[in-house]
Structure 1
Amino acid sequence: MSLIVLSIPLFFVLMGAEWVAGRLRGRRVFRGPDVFTNLSLGAAQTVFGAVAGGLLAGTYVALYSVRLFEIPATSAGAWVALFLGTDFCYYWFHRVSHRTHLGWMGHAPHHQSEDFNLSVALRQGPVQPLFSRAFYLPLALVGFPPAMFATAVALNTLYQFWVHTELIDRLGPLEWVFVTPSHHRVHHACNGRYLDKNHGAMLIVWDRLFGTFEPEREPVTYGTVEPVRTFNPLRAAWRPFGEAWSLMRRTPRFWDKLRFWFMPPEWMPPGVTDAHVPVEPGRARYEVSPSRRGVLYLAVVGVLTLGVTVLFLFKGGALSGPWKLAFAAWFLASLGGLGGVLEGRPWARWVEAARLAMVPLALLSL
């Protein structure tokens, strides 16, 4: 069982503690629609991992079979080296995911929220692991066993959860070595001076060494440079892919179409004239006003859907491939339908009716 899945109850406990701490300080930490989208996208990536787990792990195992060294999992020194190696690989994945269209498509959903709280840590690009796992493959070739690697990556990911908060100020000397909430607030900002800075997961030393460090100097505006303007998880996840595909199609020259995927997100191919609007500090956040009936529906059906999904995450490993794919399709319909209800879309009721009719089948599959 994945350490991330086992940590789900702890995530909710800590989010509750953050909400209480915010209330005591007179601050509104969470907005319901944003939290819904964050949790939905986090669940989507976890469901994707459960469905494609064999593919993601298989490449690592294949390279490990031709490893250069035998590294014992009982060695304390090996664990230290692995934690450093995992963090180093994550830094380069994270940096490349911000500086290429190919990487940004999968990573962008994590940055779309215009809030900054612990629920944002759970907001992930559903298919991002297809890109990120490639950066860890050298660790397999060196000889770190798959189970050892899986533990190190999970702990590296768990560390990143707590740095997604505005309620923790700077932490003195720790700021020189470790990634802190202050560093990560900068990373999630779309202010000009903060863009593409502080990519580290656990250690900030990589950013200091490779010139991507920026301290927190001015008030932060969160979100992407061009705001996504939706709380529908399915639309939010698709948005960066749709934008990149549209831009690539409008690129006149074949060579530019090819190199487009490896150029920075702000790069405009010759012959394309889309304008990037500078981000103003204090930019108004996207809001929706769902009806009381819609809020009640989301509260009840959304929680039940989340419950069924968590049940799948705990039991999905024993399911056959077709059942996993069927559940994933039902889950995608859930994201689109519930997001449509939240935003008051007329078509949402038909999507919800169809996918709720499939709930008994989804439960039988588990």
Structure 2
Amino acid sequence: MSLIVLSIPLFFVLIGIEWLAGRLRGRRVFRGTDVFANLSLGAAQTVFGAVAAGLLAGAYVALYSVRLFEIPSTSVWAWALLLLGTDFCYYWFHRVSHRTHLGWMAHAPHHQSEDFNLSVALRQGPVQPFFSRAFYLPLALLGFPPAMFATAVALNTLYQFWVHTELIDKLGPLEWIFVTPSHHRVHHACNGRYLDKNHGGMLIVWDRLFGTFEPEREPVTYGTVEPVRTFNPLLAAWRPFREAVTLVRKTPRIWDKIRFWFMPPEWHPPGVEPAHLDVPPGRPRFEVYPSRRVVLYMAVVGILTLLVTVLFLFRGGALSFPVKLAFTAWFLASLGGLGGVLEGRRWARWVEATRLAVVPLALAAF
């Protein structure tokens, strides 16, 4: 079972500690509406990964079958080189995901939150693994075994969890080598001087070597340059794709339609009016104010939905592919329905009634 899935209880314990530390300092670290969107998008990526596990691993296993070297999984040096190589590959995936429309569509949901706390670490683009895994394939060709690689990627991901916080200041000499919360606050900023900086996962040395490092020098405004303005996780995940498709449809020339996907997110094709967006300091955050009844519903039904999802993740390996697809459809309806309830959409009650009616069937399938 994935180390990430096994770490889910620890994530919630650490989030609780951050909430308590914030309260003791007199700070409001979390907003419930934002936390809901963050956790939902994180669960979506994990569900998608569980359903497509074979597909995601297939290319790596295929390349490993024609590997150049035999690397033993018992060697300490092999593990050290793999962790270093994994972080190097992550840096380039992360940098490319910020500098191409194709990569940004998959990665943008992680940056949409206008808060910065440990729950934001769990907010991920649901389809991002389908893009990111290609960057790790050289490790298979070199000869790092698939199980060894899966562990290294999980450790790299787990390290990145703790750097999503405002409660830890700069860490002195560690700032020169490792990615710290200060570095990652810069990465999540949409301030002009901070855009597309500090892409490292565990080590900040890659950014220092390749010219993408920026220290934290001024107050940070979080989120994307154009705010997503919704807490509905389904709409938030779809938003980058919708924007990209809209721009491509407006593009006059076929060549520009093709190269659009490999150009930076700020690039607009000739003949398409660019959006002039400015991020003022202290930009107001998007907010909704649900009633107490809605908050109670979200707390009870949202937690139950999360528990059913965790059950699926723990049992997913033993389920048939049609059952996995059926659960995924139910889960997507859950994201849209709960998000609609949170934002007061009239259609949400019908979505919720339908998908709650099939919960007994889902539990029976498990």
TM > 0.5 fold call: yes
SS of the residue 1:154 aligns to: helix
Q: Which residue of 2 aligns with 1:260?
A: 260
**Residues 199-253 of structure 1, C-alpha deviation per residue, up to 9 Å, x if partnerless?**
0000000000000000000000000000000000000000000000000110000
**Stretch moving more, 267-276 or 128-137:** 267-276
Q: Which residue of 1 aligns with 2:299?
A: 299
Q: Which residue of 2 aligns with 1:122?
A: 122
Q: Which residue of 1 aligns with 2:220?
A: 220
Q: Which residue of 2 aligns with 1:95?
A: 95
Matched pairs, number: 366
Alpha-carbon distance in 2 for matches of 1:249, 1:215: 39
Q: How much does 1:276 deviate?
A: 2.6
Query: Residue type of the partner of 1:93?
Result: F
- Matches of residues 139-218 of structure 1 in structure 2 within 5 Å? 139-218=139-218
**Residues 174-215 of structure 1, C-alpha deviation per residue, up to 9 Å, x if partnerless?**
000000000000000000000000000000000000000000
Query: Residue type of the partner of 1:28?
Result: R
Query: Residue type of the partner of 1:232?
Result: N
Query: Residue type of the partner of 2:255?
Result: W
Q: Which residue of 2 aligns with 1:361?
A: 361
Query: Residue type of the partner of 1:18?
Result: E
Matched, 1:28 2:28: yes
Alpha-carbon distance in 2 for matches of 1:257, 1:242: 15
Alpha-carbon distance in 1 for matches of 2:60, 2:37: 31
- Matches of residues 235-314 of structure 1 in structure 2 within 5 Å? 235-314=235-314
**Residues 254-285 of structure 1, C-alpha deviation per residue, up to 9 Å, x if partnerless?**
00000000000000100000323111110000
Query: Residue type of the partner of 1:261?
Result: W
Query: Residue type of the partner of 1:260?
Result: F
Q: How much does 1:62 deviate?
A: 0.6
Query: Residue type of the partner of 1:67?
Result: R
**Residues 331-355 of structure 1, C-alpha deviation per residue, up to 9 Å, x if partnerless?**
0000000000000000000000000
- Matches of residues 66-105 of structure 1 in structure 2 within 5 Å? 66-105=66-105
Q: How much does 1:110 deviate?
A: 0.1
Query: Residue type of the partner of 2:27?
Result: R
SS of the residue 2:262 aligns to: coil
Alpha-carbon distance in 2 for matches of 1:281, 1:77: 47
**Residues 85-135 of structure 1, C-alpha deviation per residue, up to 9 Å, x if partnerless?**
000000000000000000000000000000000000000000000000000
Alpha-carbon distance in 1 for matches of 2:291, 2:330: 25
Query: Residue type of the partner of 1:227?
Result: P
Alpha-carbon distance in 2 for matches of 1:278, 1:340: 29
Alpha-carbon distance in 2 for matches of 1:365, 1:235: 28
Alpha-carbon distance in 1 for matches of 2:274, 2:339: 29
Alpha-carbon distance in 1 for matches of 2:358, 2:365: 11
Query: Residue type of the partner of 2:81?
Result: A
Query: Residue type of the partner of 1:173?
Result: P
Alpha-carbon distance in 1 for matches of 2:268, 2:295: 41
Alpha-carbon distance in 2 for matches of 1:74, 1:23: 45
Q: How much does 1:292 deviate?
A: 1.3
Q: How much does 1:83 deviate?
A: 0.4
Alpha-carbon distance in 1 for matches of 2:355, 2:31: 26
Q: How much does 1:365 deviate?
A: 1.5
Alpha-carbon distance in 1 for matches of 2:214, 2:276: 22
Q: How much does 1:362 deviate?
A: 1.0
Q: Which residue of 2 aligns with 1:15?
A: 15
Q: How much does 1:305 deviate?
A: 0.1
**Residues 141-170 of structure 1, C-alpha deviation per residue, up to 9 Å, x if partnerless?**
000000000000000000000000000000
Alpha-carbon distance in 1 for matches of 2:231, 2:206: 34
Normalising by structure 1, report the TM-score.
1.00
**Stretch moving more, 269-278 or 121-130:** 269-278
SS of the residue 1:261 aligns to: helix
**Stretch moving more, 273-282 or 31-40:** 273-282
Question: Identity rate of aligned residues, in percent?
Answer: 86
- Matches of residues 337-348 of structure 1 in structure 2 within 5 Å? 337-348=337-348
Q: How much does 1:25 deviate?
A: 0.4
Matched, 1:319 2:319: yes
